[in-house]
Amino acid sequence: MASSQYEIIECRTIDGVMIRGWFYATGAPAPAVIMTPGFNCVKEMLLPDVAERFQSTGYNAFIYDPRSIGDSDGVPKNQIDPQKQAEDLADIVTHISTLPSVDASRIILWGMSFGGTVSACAAAVDRRVKALVMVCPILSFYKPEKRQKAFVQLMKDRQSQLRGNDAFTLPPFNSKGENPIGMAGSGGPGGLESFGFMNAVIDRGAPNFRNRITLQSYHKLAMWHPKETLKLVDSTPVMMVIPELDAMSPPEEQMEEFEKFRQSKRVLIAKGKGHLTVLSGNGSEEILDAQMDFMKAAAEGTLH
């Protein structure tokens, strides 16, 4: 990917954390799509090709590393805090809105996987957002049978840190495709798919990716209830892309949440697609075309 296609942008949050990303500009004021990656993912993972596609059709696009991940600031490193990530998006919207190629009245939030849910929670409060695109959102995190053991581990780690020890870290998925809370297809095909994907990332051009998270990330997830927040997404037009073969976020759960929206909305069932293949390979062009049709209609106010 040629560096001339984007410029490096920094956005400062209200608590002083610098969020860094790549901005793909258009030649004249146009809508901007702010693109949030998945769980512990960096901007280089799957998003550049999509951003280039949006740019080629007249949309500004901004892909970034969420706080504590990749090139962005925030400590402890790789502590996943979805509530903070959603709040940070408000400050990212503010910054991107000031750029000369951006029409500030037409800001679109786009997120994939965990990032789709984070984007939706941001849009719930930020009514500057013109439209929302959720691609294979992950909506549930803890399996009930995993809570007791996981909660004990979380408290032990907090006690350890108070004694001066470093935060405990671990991969999001081990070699068996498992994690302590049973999230995102843990222990099944989805978990194994994620393990393989994460372990291949650095070789695919993401040098600042770190395949570890803090254990306390699971504390943050336990305190986050996105389905409740999604009830506040009551006027922003929304599109959801649901992979038919998603093994990390059950398609029926995604559809159940989509059906609760009462505003203008569209859904696309991506036939033959899985969680990590929904934007690549055969059929991906049609999936992207459908998203751009939705964004165009939402930006122009013609969506019904």
d(CA 287, CA 224): 30
Q: What is the pLDDT of residue 81?
A: 98
Which residue, 133, 171, 140, 142, is CA-closest to 36? 133
Name, in order, each residue with C-beta under 8 angstroms of 296's C-beta and a sequence gap of 6 or more: none
Mean pLDDT of 61-90: 98
Q: What is the pLDDT of residue 3?
A: 40
The answer to whether residues 112 and 36 touch, using CB atoms and an 8 Å cutoff, is yes
Q: What is the pLDDT of residue 200?
A: 87
Q: What pLDDT digit, counting tens, does each position of 165-215 carry?
A: 999 999 999 999 999 999 999 999 999 999 999 988 867 778 899 999 999
d(CA 241, CA 245): 12
Mean pLDDT of 249-257: 98
**At 12, is the pLDDT very low, low, confident or very high (cuts 50, 70, 90)?**
very high
